[in-house]
Structure 1
Amino acid sequence: MNHVLYSPAKLNLTLRIGARRADGLHDLSSVFLRLPSVEALTITMDSENNVKDLLSVQTIELKGINLVTRASERLRALGWPLPFLRVSLWKQLPPGTGFGAGSGNGAAFLRWASALLGRSLPLELARELGADVPFLVSGLPLAFACGVGERLEGLKALNLSALLLVPRWSSPTARAFADLDRRREERGSSVSDPLFFRIEAETLVDDLRRGATVGLLPNDFTDLLAERHPEYGLFFAMAEKAGALAWGISGSGSGAFALAQGPTALLKLVASVSAEPWVTHLLVLE
């Protein structure tokens, strides 16, 4: 029997990064927006295999260990009687784009394994797998997150359409955080009060909820990425001209996005940006 799981992704409508902690991680303040299912996993119990899970990936090449494999290995290490599996993963969004598609794969798997075995969702494992996973495993449509992504406060859903843009370059998370730390050290920059981040986030969500144009959304990685790739500025200008409400970079990049009330403005934006040679994927979600 095949089990088909639909896997979500996310946008960071805001992303503020705190100072580096003693454990090497960073506290964050962010508004997470859940995206509709963009990828899918097909899981089959493998009665002939008692060695390891077998994972195949369709459409996009992945390097390293996918979060589905990491999640299954950790669950078994925790004593969960999970059989070995054959997993086929159909992907639309490459890694290193900040849309959390890999985290969505892991979150979908954790929810499935919990239901299969009748056990509570392993929230500590979700946090261990990555900052996006606790939100994606929660099922919340919109949330304010702090800590390292594990402290969530659910917010009322936003009824917005989104355009996701994947450029030809990626932005590995570890490198992005190291670059941000280095820049702050060189400039002697301080980190703002978390209360400011919360007020900023609440104001932006309220503005978007009433259909106001808010423009470029705050993300501490935007300046670094825009300096290396001026193409972001071109996309943001196109988004404004097309009539989008908001635009920005998700996570630590490299993916950019625009938001609008309904798809009309976004389809106009697609027509403008699709011919750009630096764009590899465009995806409109409602």
Structure 2
Amino acid sequence: MGLTMKAPAKINLTLDVLHKREDGYHEVEMVMTSIDLADHLHMVSRKDMDIHVECTTSFVPTDQRNLVYQAAKRLQARFNIKQGVHITIQKKIPVAAGLAGGSSDAAACIKGLNQLWGLRLTTNEMAALGAEIGSDVSFCIYGGTALATGRGEKIIPLPAPPPFWVILAKPPIGVSTGNIYGKLKADQIKAHPDTERMIEAIKEKDFELITASLGNVLEEVTLYEHPQVGQIKERMKRYGADGVLMSGSGPTVFGITQKESRMRKIYHALKGFCRDVYVVRSLGER
């Protein structure tokens, strides 16, 4: 018996860091929304208890370092499951890109095994389990658009923003989220995004206010470490994106617009400048 699960990427419309917590994590406020760039997980039950993960991208680890493997192992142990699973990850989301590819894969694994192994977990129960694996996994369980607080595991659903095109450009580097957060001085952040204004803009479906409210405090660290991220931002702005921001800890930059003509112009301007360029739609809904 097998099934296939879709694992959509996300972008951060806002990312704010409030302070460093006693447990070593940072207290965050993030408004995130799902986009139609997705990995797919093909899952087949095994009669033995082995968990096998393979991936179409060779440099993604398939052992205990992989969040999909960790999710499957945790479910198997937690619910005393006497069977295994073979999981093939068909990668489309760039790796180490700030788009929650690994977290979304783990969320898809949890949701898939919930069906495959007949666990009957609620969405909230799956999200709580996902939080044990990674900060973005809870959001990816729900999908859609949401405010994430705490270390990212506390999710408050939001309505879908108005539809828009998303142009993604990733320079040929990977960024460690832990490294970027480690270099952030939370008490010295110069400008915090207005999270409440972004939430209001989404609720009012005010695209102009959404673009005016974009903000990510991790940009100052990543852009200093990797100047090419700033170059991509400037190029997107120059060619007509209504709003431009780095997603997560980077290095992927996204531009948004509701106009197809602008989308095409930005895409072609970036295609010769950057190898990994994608055009997708916002998903918005859960």
Structure 2 length as normaliser, TM-score? 0.86
What pairs with 1:232-251 in structure 2 (closer than 5 Å)?
A: 232-251=229-248
Distance 1:46 1:5 in 2: 17
- The 1:56–1:14 alpha-carbon spacing in structure 2 relative to 1, beyond 3 Å, is same
Q: Deviations over 1:5-58 (max 9, x none)?
A: 1111100110011221111111100101111251101111122x43x2111100
Amino acid at match of 1:180: L
1:174 counterpart (172, 178, 181)? 178
Residues 198 and 211 of structure 1: CA distance in aligned 2, closer, same or farther (over 3 Å): closer
- Contact 1:19–1:191 (8 Å) recurs in 2: no
* 1:97 and 1:166 in contact (8 A); partners too: yes
Among candidates 207, 222, 230, match of residue 225 of structure 1? 222
Aligned to 1:25: 25
CA distance in 2: counterparts of 1:19 and 1:31, whole angstroms: 17
Q: Does 1:83 align with 2:83?
A: yes
Residue 98 of structure 2 aligns with which residue?
98
Selected match of 1:149 from 147, 152, 166: 152
CA distance in structure 1 between the partners assigned to 2:14 and 2:100 by the alignment: 15
| Structure 1 position 269, deviation (Å) | 1.0
Once the 2 structures are TM-superposed, how far is the Cα of residue 77 of structure 1 from its aligned partner? Answer: 2.2
Task: Judge conservation of contact 1:29–1:197 (CA < 8 Å) in 2.
Answer: no
2:85 paired with 1:114: no
- Partner deviation per Cα, 1:176-217 (whole Å, 9 max, x = no partner): 111114xx5xxx626989xx7433433554687344583683
2:59 to 61, 74, 99: 61
- Mapped partners of 1:6, 1:263: distance in 2: 26
Distance 1:12 1:204, change over 3 A: same
Q: Deviations over 1:102-155 (max 9, x none)?
A: 11111111112223312333332211222211111013x211111112222222
The answer as to whether partners of 2:130 and 2:138 remain within 8 angstroms in 1 is yes
Structure 2: distance between partners of 1:20 and 1:145: 16
- The amino acid that maps onto 1:170 is G
Quickly say closer, same or farther: Cα 1:59–1:191, change in 2 above 3 A: same
Q: Which amino acid is the alignment partner of residue 52 of structure 2?
A: L
Q: Match for 1:108: what amino acid?
A: A
Structure 2 distance, partners of 1:216, 1:61, is: 36
SS of residue in 1 equivalent to 2:148: strand
- Call closer, same or farther: CA 1:237–1:190 in 2, change over 3 Å: closer
For residues 269 and 56 of structure 1, the distance between their equivalents in structure 2, rounded to whole angstroms, comes to 35
Which stretch of structure 1 is more off in the superposition, 8-17 or 76-85? Answer: 76-85
**Whole-angstrom distance in 2 between the partners of 1:60 and 1:268:** 33
What residue ranges of structure 1 are gaps of 5+ in the alignment? none
CA contact (8 A) 2:239 2:262 kept: yes
Q: What's 2:265 paired with?
A: 268
Cα distance per residue 1:58-112 (max 9 Å; x no partner):
0352136221110011112212426211111110223321100111111111112
- Give TM-score, length-normalised by structure 1: 0.86
Number of the residue aligned with 1:45: 45
> Does the CA contact (< 8 Å) of 1:36 and 1:285 recur in 2?
yes
- CA change 1:131–1:197 in 2 (3 A) is farther
Q: Percent identity?
A: 23
Q: Which amino acid aligns with 2:59?
A: E
Distance in 2 separating the partners of 1:59 and 1:75: 25
Q: 1:112 to 1:155 in 2, by over 3 A?
A: same
Partner residue of 2:13? 13
User: Aligned Cα RMSD in Å?
Assistant: 2.5
SS at match of 2:166: strand
- 1:98 touches 1:250 (CA, 8 Å); kept in 2? yes
Deviations 1:230-260 (A, max 9, x none): 3233322222232222111111111111111
Runs of 4+ in 1 over 6 A off after TM superposition: 190-193
What secondary structure is seen at the aligned counterpart in 2 of 1:14?
A: strand
Q: Partners in 2 of 1:219 and 1:167 — Cα distance?
A: 18
Could you say which residue in structure 1 is the equivalent of 2:70? 70
1:262–1:82: structure 2 CA closer, same or farther, 3 Å change rule? farther
Q: Distance in 2 between matches of 1:282 and 1:115?
A: 34
